[in-house]
Amino acid sequence: MNKTISLACGNGGEENNELISKVFYKAFKNEILEKSEDAAIIHGGALAFSTDSFTVSPLFFAGADIGKLAVCGTCNDLAMMGAQPKYLTCSVIIEEGFETRELERIVRSMKQELEINGAIVVSGDTKVVPRGSVDKIFINTSGIGEVLRKGISSNNISEDDLILVNRDIGCHGATIFAAREGIEMNSPLKSDCESLFPQVKALLDAEIKITAMRDATRGGVSAVLNEWAKQSNICIEIEEEKIPVSDEVNGICEMLGFEAAALANEGTFVLAVKKGDADRAIEILKTFENCSKATIIGKVTDAHLKKVILNSSWGTKRFLDTPSGELLPRIC
């Protein structure tokens, strides 16, 4: 570890993983934490438990705001473990002088999104700190979900699975970047921020054999695939041209010098689904408004264990690595 914490330590990529494993996991070591993915599975497998703090800047952006994000983020983490979001806590740290009207707007967004999930806020905490001690408002939500389907885990992905995404990727990262740089878009680019439980519920109800799910937040699809390849000791081979990316996101990527697969998402998830169920899963996902581009993007092989390979349409191959460096701070 470096002597000081850098922005890269919060990027969802390599440096972030190092900080988590060398400082937090090392101290807090226990069996549940070690198996913990987007959420921890507790209470004999019956409940999922997760937490997330949100620091996004700007607070309001195309498609969502920090309030919607704070509910989606934690509820999605629960949904990814096959759990129905039930109880949330909401803890806010507000900078002195913050406008009450903006706070009310944020809280209204939270309420709306809670309803989509069928979840309620049962406890909270409110801190106000002097000007300059925090930038406007940070929100933490922690959530408990009821596990509807046990055994969903990114440790068990095998060559029997195909790799899917539910929609076109990178919209959240591109939107925040555009908003922050003051780029005027003549296009409908907006954050994909959305509650994923309805999609997960539809897949579970149809008894789709889901091995693993993960929302591709900080570090994007690249971070998820690399983590899965390591956890399940597999090689994931992705067909580059199959990854759905909108023209707007591609444009922003060129400006940023990023790959779309490294951009953050807030309503986009990757699935590992048993081969025989993959087409049916795609059909189900496509019935959702923002998922017309749901598709199979890759497969599992043993070509390079613990690695992700990107196959281009010209027949070339390259590794898709876990993102590193600063990426975009305060993305969520």
How far apart (Å, rounded) are the C-alpha atoms in residues 284 and 268? Answer: 15
Instruction: Please say which residue, 135 or 205, places its beta carbon nearer to a copy of itself.
Output: 135
Provide the minimum distance between the beta carbon of 228 and a copy of itself in the complex, in angstroms, as a whole number: 18
Provide the minimum distance between the beta carbon of 253 and a copy of itself in the complex, in angstroms, as a whole number: 22
Ramachandran angles phi, psi of 330, nearest 5°: 55, 45
Instruction: Please say which residue, 75 or 243, places its beta carbon nearer to a copy of itself.
Output: 75
Provide the minimum distance between the beta carbon of 148 and a copy of itself in the complex, in angstroms, as a whole number: 16
Instruction: Please say which residue, 88 or 163, places its beta carbon nearer to a copy of itself.
Output: 88
Instruction: Please say which residue, 44 or 315, places its beta carbon nearer to a copy of itself.
Output: 44
Tokens of 132: 């300059």
Provide the minimum distance between the beta carbon of 18 and a copy of itself in the complex, in angstroms, as a whole number: 11
- Give kind and range of the element (H or E) at residue 110: helix 100-117
Q: What angle do CA 246, 204, 167 make, to 5 degrees?
A: 0
Provide the minimum distance between the beta carbon of 152 and a copy of itself in the complex, in angstroms, as a whole number: 16
For residue 319, the one-letter residue type is F
For residue 119, the one-letter residue type is A
Contact 259, 222 (CB under 8 A): yes
Ramachandran angles phi, psi of 269, nearest 5°: -135, 155
Instruction: Please say which residue, 118 or 251, places its beta carbon nearer to a copy of itself.
Output: 118
Provide the minimum distance between the beta carbon of 165 and a copy of itself in the complex, in angstroms, as a whole number: 23
Provide the minimum distance between the beta carbon of 173 and a copy of itself in the complex, in angstroms, as a whole number: 15
Query: Which among 234, 270, 82, 224 has a CA at the least distance from the CA of 158?
Result: 234
Instruction: Please say which residue, 50 or 246, places its beta carbon nearer to a copy of itself.
Output: 50
For residue 281, the one-letter residue type is A
Centroid of chain to Cα 304: 25
Contact 145, 86 (CB under 8 A): yes
Ramachandran angles phi, psi of 36, nearest 5°: -65, 130
Instruction: Please say which residue, 9 or 320, places its beta carbon nearer to a copy of itself.
Output: 9
